[in-house]
Amino acid sequence: MPEPLLEVKDLSVHFPTEDGLVKAVDGVSFSLQPGETLGVVGESGSGKSVTFLTVMGLVTSAQAVIEGEVIFEGQDLLKLPKDEMRNIRGSKISMIFQDPMTSLHPFYKVGYQIAEAIRTHQNVGKREAHDQSVEMLRRVGIPKPEERADQYPHEFSGGMRQRAMIAMALSLNPDMLIADEPTTALDVTVQAQILDLIDRLRAEFNASVVIITHDLGVVAEHCDDIQVMYAGKIVEFGDRRDIYYGSHHPYTWGLLRSISRLDSASKERLQPIKGLPPSLIFVPPGCAFHPRCPYVFDRCRTDIPKLLPTDGHHASACHLTLSDKERIFEGEVVVRR
């Protein structure tokens, strides 16, 4: 097995607040290989964004208590001084966000904003940075990039803005791209284009990609591995076949059953997960999912399940026995075709 590009070990991010300690991320470990695409799936408040904001060094709240290690290319990012972290951010790891409208500055031309990122990290002149930004806009599939570089963000459509964000994120040829809900604000047609683009560029730039989303439908085509998060913990991890054709956690089942599928009959009832995600201040004892879990039994209310591998790769944190999990998945979750 090659050296992982990123290895996160037992990461916890806690925020003390007036109401109590918010355990946004609670003991998360995973690794990412070079050139791999990882999907991170969970509801709002499951800690998926905070995990990767911490990796980026963007959790800046003075009170935040961050523990664990984030090893990227052999060094622990959590121990790096701020200015070194700033060099890595952008040139080695970059991030695109959900809302392309609020992450571009409305006062500056799009080409200028991309060139600014290039000039911050590389010793190049204005002219050359501008040319590079035009080239990047071309590579992300924006027509007439020379003209587009001289326009403001409001002149771009939602999909075009997201393309521009991707151009900016990839302008320094990073080793890792984190995409936080990159398509949630976009039309379905544009969503498909953007995900294809990320796929293509991953191969072209040979980067690792992390796609954070709440929709298991979105990542089926585009991810190698998928990790499912709930209440600050990873509850299931596996390659995409493990997750879609043999998942082992009731929460993953719930996510799969909530999706409205085109091939199901019209007006067929969806089976949502009942209840709401827990407050991260008062996480339920035992398995955090137990109050919403249809298969709960006594042990779930007291013991915290560990993320245990069932075979080499696939792991889940649930007290049900493997045979029960397989029976329930086959009987109740597997999608009829």
Which residues inside 284-323 make contact with another protein, applying CB under 8 A? none
Q: Are strands 20-32 and 6-17 parallel, antiparallel or unpaired?
A: antiparallel
Q: How far apart are CA 1 and CA 254, in angstroms?
A: 33
Q: Are 194 and 182 in contact (CB under 8 A)?
A: yes
Q: Which of 105, 241, 299, 301 binds another protein (CB under 8 A)?
A: 241
**Residue 112, helix vs strand vs coil:** helix
Q: Which of 159, 182, 278, 305 binds another protein (CB under 8 A)?
A: 159
Nearest to 26 by CA among 6, 54, 7: 54
Least spacing, CB of residue 258 vs another protein, in Å: 4
Q: Taking contact as CB under 8 A, which single stretch among the options 26-34, 63-71, 125-133, 254-262 is the one that binds another protein? A: 254-262
CB-based contacts of 220: which residues, under 8 Å, 6+ apart?
Answer: 240, 244
Least spacing, CB of residue 321 vs another protein, in Å: 25
Least spacing, CB of residue 180 vs another protein, in Å: 14
Q: Are 84 and 317 in contact (CB under 8 A)?
A: no
Handedness of CA 303, 65, 14, 16 (dihedral sign): positive
Least spacing, CB of residue 13 vs another protein, in Å: 21
Q: Which of 24, 255, 280, 307 binds another protein (CB under 8 A)?
A: 255
Least spacing, CB of residue 45 vs another protein, in Å: 8
**Residue 167, helix vs strand vs coil:** helix
**Residue 96, helix vs strand vs coil:** strand
Instruction: Record the tokens describing residue 113, joined without a space.
Output: 């904003």
Nearer to another protein, 63 or 266 (CB): 266
Number of residues near another protein (by CB under 8 A): 50
Which residues inside 21-80 make contact with another protein, applying CB under 8 A? 43-44
Least spacing, CB of residue 317 vs another protein, in Å: 18
CB-based contacts of 315: which residues, under 8 Å, 6+ apart?
Answer: 236, 237, 238, 307, 308, 309
> Does residue 261 belong to the site contacting another protein (CB under 8 A)?
yes
| Residue that the structure tokens 């951010």 belong to | 89
Q: Which of 218, 234, 293, 318 binds another protein (CB under 8 A)?
A: 218
Task: At 222, give phi and psi (nearest 5°).
Answer: -115, -5
Q: What are the residues facing 66 on neighbouring strands? A: 13
Which residues inside 82-101 make contact with another protein, applying CB under 8 A? none
Q: Which of 54, 191, 247, 316 binds another protein (CB under 8 A)?
A: 191
Q: Taking contact as CB under 8 A, which single stretch among the options 60-68, 130-138, 267-275, 315-323 is the one that binds another protein? A: 267-275
* Interacting residue ranges for another protein, rule: CB under 8 A: 43-44, 143, 157-160, 187-193, 196, 214-218, 220-221, 240-241, 244, 254-274, 276-277, 335, 337
